[in-house]
Amino acid sequence: MQNQSPTREQKRAQFSQSPKAKSKTTPALIAVALVVLAVAAYLVIRATSDKPETTTVTSVASAQAAGDIRIPLSDLSGKAKFVDYTLADNKQLRFFALKSSDGVYRAALDACDTCYHAKKGYHQEGDDMICNNCGLHFHSAQINEVHGGCNPVGLPRSIEGDYLVIKATDLESRKQYF
């Protein structure tokens, strides 16, 4: 009987083939890496394009003498208008205002009682405001109506002529959310 074990030359030939095998897996790894990079780029682009339009109100001095924030009603529609506001102590606060589908002008902090610590706020999809932290949906007609939990913290507001008015003191009293 002849010995069936490979000879030294056969083993060398076998190992000399492994770089060729590795070269076959390299294109596959490169393709996987490119797909991962493409998905990551898409997610970054989508995240930056989904950011809502923001208006900045820098201080009470830039608002009316009484310290009120006045937003023209013509600027409000079914799309939430986000406003960055600087408090008297230079702390940043963010809120949004909109005209909900039932025709009511509404305003709320970009924060809630439950998720405010995450500082992620809300975004809008159709008639819903959606918590960026937990993903819960809140119909815009419920803003200022339903309180507590993950509902946006409502802001007292009034209509004066052609303006939605939010008092600076109401913003100051809610700074703990930011």
Token pair listed for 156: 């007292």
Residues whose CB falls within 8 Å of the CB of residue 139, separated by 6 or more in sequence, listed in order: 127, 128
CATH 2.102.10.10 fits 54-177, yes or no: yes
pLDDT band at residue 52, thresholds of 50, 70 and 90? very low
Question: Among 18-22, 47-51, 67-71, 80-84, which range has the highest average pLDDT?
Answer: 80-84
Please say whether the beta carbons of 173 and 130 come within 8 A: no
Say how far apart CA 173 and CA 148 lie, in whole Å.
16
Among 173, 137, 138, CA closest to 155: 173
pLDDT at 55: 46
For 19, 95, 128, the CA distances from 140, given in Å and listed in that order, are 62, 14, 5
CB atoms within 10 A of CB 57: 19
In tens, the pLDDT along 85-138 reads 888 888 888 999 999 989 999 999 998 787 777 878 889 999 889 888 888 888
Token pair listed for 115: 């998720």
- Ordered by start, the domain boundaries in the chain are 8-49, 54-177
In tens, the pLDDT along 56-96 reads 443 333 344 447 889 999 999 889 999 988 888 888 889 99
DSSP code for 153? E
SS3 state at 157: coil
For 13, 97, 100, 114, 145, the CA distances from 106, given in Å and listed in that order, are 77, 6, 7, 20, 10
